[in-house]
Structure 1
Amino acid sequence: MKWEIFTETKKSADYQLQKAEVDFGGRHWVAWFCNEIPINEGPYKFQGLPGLIFEIEDTGNNYSYKLINSKKLEKELDTTEFLETHYGNKPIKITNQKLNEVKLNYYNNPYSWAMTSTGTWSVNFGDGKIYNKKEDIPYLTRRTQEELRRNNNPIELDIALKYPLK
């Protein structure tokens, strides 16, 4: 990331924060970091500043991260069975292209499981109606596709899947 660091500062609790900006993921971001804490990390993929990022948000007001609390631990904790393996399950690495392929397959046929189901099933969209018949699937599919398109606002717009209109 190519940060632009400014001289502008502000106070947050007992810390003096300094402003920085970066273009990342198809968005422009404004960050506030603390030189007093020489950890060049922050939330998500944001890193590389000469201090811990306390706040960062995109200028479109879609995403906002704020450090709420931080404390020094008395001893180092072993996170190998949690962070590194998610409770013992090793993560599967996939490319963004493969992830988008999986998302698009779901988008195109979100109720394939219901079409092949031999048992009972039901879907509720929060409208008070229960959908549980195979003839409901075309409506459910359209509704799900509309929801996916409407809520498609990933952090990294430049690599986002653009759902097709049906």
Structure 2
Amino acid sequence: MRLTLFFLIISINFLFSQKDSSRIECKYLTSFLIDTTDSYTRKQEITSLLIGDHVSLFRSDAKARYDSLTNANVSMAVPKNGTYTIDFSNIPKAYFIQEIYYKNHNPIVYDKILNIVFAFEPENKIEWKLVNDTKTISTFTCKKAVGKYGKKQITAWYTDEIPFQEGPYNFKGLPGLIVEAYDENDFFHFTLKSLKNIKKPIEPITFSMKTDYPKFVKKRLDFQKDPIGAFFASTGRTVSKEQQERIIKMHRSKNNHLD
């Protein structure tokens, strides 16, 4: 990774000056629990941080593929007896759903409840405290910082060898790129795996319902209390008792939220 770092920093002032496109893509291995009471629910996904001029986007690669393939399948769906049948069998499942879009230092979080995408400004922001501690991660000399994000205590390791005040999720503002970050219980863990110069579009989600964070949290809690009612209200479909039990168990176990 260090071999390409010199060319990465040198070329950054010359490449990809178009607005709302990336200069650099950072890949993080993101590890997280679905259910904080069950260690067997731990998932891992590759997530991407796209960094451009005054704009950035953090999202799961699996979710990006899911969205792309879903849109393609919808566009190719053939009506039968007045209804559309969409094949989801070839679409990989994504578990890390939230996307964080920054423009001119203004963050927007996109999250999903059933088939509705909500957009809101996060209420939580870290006030970092720099700690006199270092360690080597990959080939980078990293420095330690800690801070509270909501109710979570976050530890971050950043390197000033990569002079961007960026990092995974909504973790920004340190004197260098965050290489690793995690909470005190290791319910979420982000580790930088690669970075490269690349030009990719950075765009917010077009179709979303604007709300604020307290209203979104209430909707999420209401859904977890009565997922069957929310499912019926959204789809108009009734399900068997066995399916109801499975839906209730699945959604009530999703209790690990980073926001």
Fold match by TM threshold 0.5? yes
Paired amino acid for 1:50: P
- Structure 1 residues 2-151: aligned runs within 5 Å: 2-73=127-198, 77=199, 79=201, 83-86=202-205, 89-107=206-224, 108=226, 109-112=229-232, 116-117=236-237, 133=240, 136=241, 140-141=243-244, 143-151=246-254
| Cα separation, partners in 2 of 1:10 and 1:104, compared to 1, 3 Å | closer
TM-score by length of 2: 0.44
What is the DSSP-based 3-state SS (H/G/I as helix, E as strand, rest coil) of the residue aligned with 2:182?
strand
RMSD across aligned positions (CA): 2.6
Residue 49 to residue 116, structure 1, CA distance change in 2 (3 Å): closer
Q: What whole-Å deviation, never above 9, does each CA across 1:29-76 have from its counterpart, x for those lacking one?
A: 111000111100101110110000000000111000011100133xxx
Structure with greater strand share of residues: 2
Residue type matched to 1:103 in 2? Answer: R
| TM-score in terms of structure 1 length | 0.66
Q: Please state whether the residue corresponding to 2:252 is helix, strand or coil.
A: helix
CA 7–101 in structure 1, closer or farther in 2 if over 3 Å, else same: closer
- Is the alpha carbon distance of 1:141 and 1:10 closer, same or farther for their aligned partners in structure 2, counting shifts above 3 Å? same
In structure 1, the partner of 2:21 is none
C-alpha contact (below 8 Å) 1:7/1:19 kept by paired residues: yes
Which has more radius of gyration? 1
1:131-153 deviation digits (Å, cap 9, x = unpaired)? x54xx2xx644553343333211
Identity %: 26
Deviations 1:110-134, CA, capped at 9 Å, x for gaps:
44269944xxx7xxxxxxxxxx54x
Find the aligned partners of 2:252 and 2:236 in 1 and give their Cα distance.
Answer: 25
Matches within 5 A, 1:149-160: 149-156=252-259
Task: Name the aligned partner's letter for residue 209 of structure 2.
Answer: I
Name the count of aligned residue pairs.
Answer: 131
1:39 and 1:115 mapped to 2: Cα distance? 44
Matched residue type, 1:44: Y
- The aligned residue for residue 18 of structure 2 is none
If asked which structure has higher relative contact order (CA below 8 Å, sep 6+), I would say: 2
Find the aligned partners of 1:150 and 1:70 in 2 and give their Cα distance: 34
